[in-house]
Structure formats: structure tokens, C-alpha cells
Amino acid sequence: NAGVTQTPKFQVLKTGQSMTLQCAQDMNHNSMYWYRQDPGMGLRLIYYSASEGTTDKGEVPNGYNVSRLNKREFSLRLESAAPSQTSVYFCASSGSGDRGKKLFFGSGTQLSVL
Amino acid sequence: AQRVTQPEKLLSVFKGAPVELKCNYSYSGSPELFWYVQYSRQRLQLLLRHISRESIKGFTADLNKGETSFHLKKPFAQEEDSAMYYCALSGIGNEKLTFGTGTRLTIIP
């Protein structure tokens, strides 16, 4: 099993450009999450989805949108990228019994906004 | 609001010496605490959770509700313990896992 797969692994954008980060999991998990990791800030929750068809804001949702396309896929969109969004982005998922507890993480997307 | 504090950004310990990574939390409900670890070129993964009360790779952590702490300990450090460690907090019925800022542990040979 691949677990949680994120694409792309690296991306460079210019300020104002848009892009979508893709995430898919093959563990039949209900819950999925997007975090960003910044030096000295740890991991901060951007958005999460407790189940297919639902999404909720996390700690730092401004400038982002998400789509829970189906049970497997949860995408993160930057409509107009800003340098402050330069970060490493992690997608994660968890099963019903471990919602918000035991998360399985993807390998991350390193995004630079110039 | 839930908050996790890891006061040490960097920690260097000699091989064979004891290790203690500090974690303090703030949470109004009944907390669930976790330690996650990210080894070089590997994914972030769960190391241990307080409700399991188990030792993983020689590491243990005890939840101290009086001091609102969940420090990670290992009696004898090994080189393979070098990694980034994150303390995390959730609660019963809580969807959100809140992470601390992390401690980078380096084991000196």
C-alpha cells in the first residue's frame, strides 16, 4: 500500500499564481488533513475533512481552499499565491477510531513562492 | 483553545546519555497526548501515545496532569534517535491534532 500520496513534491510559483496540491490515501480513512510546516512554528492545521463531503477550517485557513473530492482524495488550492505561503505542506489521514489522533502523513510538498 | 509548548528547539545529547524532551500543554478538556517523530528523509509518524502506556524504541512518556506535561524520555540515547520530535495534543471527540513547534534531537557519537 502507498498510504498517503502527495503531488507534486516540489513547486515554485510566482506571486499571484494559483495551484492545487493533490493528496490521495488508500487506507479507506474517513478523515483527512492539510498541515503546513514552517521553521520555528511546527505543524499548523490549515483545513481538515472529517468525512467525505465535509470540510472545516483549521488554525491557518486564510488564502487556501480545499475540496474533498471523494473518500480517497483531498486537495488544497492556493488561488493567489503569496510569499508567506512558502512552506512545506503535509497531507495526512486517520481512520474512524483515530480521528485527530493517529495520523498517517504523506511525504510533503515543498512550495516556494517568489 | 489548545496549545502545546516545546521549549527546546535543539537538543544535543551524547550517545549513551539519558534523553528528555520537554512538552507542556494547555487544554480545558480531557487531553490526549502524543509524540510524533520525523527521521531524516522519512515521513512524520506516530511514536507513542499516552493512553497506550507503552515503550517504543526505548522511549516512554508519562502524562502529568498536575504539571500539564508529557515529557519524552529515554535512559540511553542511540545514534538512530537523531530526528525531529513533535509533541501533539488532542481530546475526546476532538478532530484537531495540535502540534508543538518541535525539538531537533541530535545524538553525538
> CB-CB: which of B34, B44, B95 is closest to A99?
B95
Asked whether residue A107 carries a pLDDT value surpassing 80, the answer given is: yes
**Cβ-based contacts of B34 with chain A (< 8 Å):** 101-102
Chosen from B43, B45, B49, B103 to mutate, greatest number of chain A CBs within 10 A: B43
Band of residue B40 on the pLDDT scale cut at 50, 70, 90 = very high
**Cβ-based contacts of B94 with chain A (< 8 Å):** 100
Asked whether residue A105 carries a pLDDT value surpassing 90, the answer given is: yes
| DSSP assigned state of B69 | B
> Taking the mean position of all CA atoms in its chain, how far away is CA A20?
10
| B31 at A interface, C-beta within 8 A | no
| B94 at A interface, C-beta within 8 A | yes
**Cβ-based contacts of B90 with chain A (< 8 Å):** 100-101
Q: What residues contact A23, with CB distance under 8 A and at least 6 apart?
A: A4, A5, A6, A32, A34, A73, A74, A75, A76, A91, A106
Asked whether residue A100 carries a pLDDT value surpassing 80, the answer given is: no
Nearest-by-CA chain B residue for A40: B101
**pLDDT, tens digit (0-9, with 9 covering 90-100), for A65-90:** 999 989 999 999 999 999 999 999 99
Asked whether residue B47 carries a pLDDT value surpassing 80, the answer given is: yes
| B98 at A interface, C-beta within 8 A | yes
**pLDDT, tens digit (0-9, with 9 covering 90-100), for A31-67:** 999 999 998 888 999 999 998 889 999 999 999 999 9
Q: Find residue A34's DSSP bridge partners.
A: A47, A91
**B79 phi/psi in degrees, rounded to 5:** -60, -35
Band of residue B35 on the pLDDT scale cut at 50, 70, 90 = very high
3-state secondary structure chain A: CCCEEEECCEEEECCCCCEEEEEEECCCCCEEEEEEEECCCEEEEEEEECCCCCCEECCCCCCEEEEECCCCEEEEEECCCCHHHCEEEEEEEECHHHCCCCCEECCCEEEEEC
Q: Is the CB of A45 less than 8 angstroms away from the CB of B96? A: yes
Asked whether residue A113 carries a pLDDT value surpassing 80, the answer given is: yes
**pLDDT, tens digit (0-9, with 9 covering 90-100), for B52-108:** 878 889 999 989 999 999 999 999 999 999 999 999 999 877 778 999 999 999 999
**Cβ-based contacts of A41 with chain B (< 8 Å):** 101
Question: Helical H runs in chain B?
Answer: none
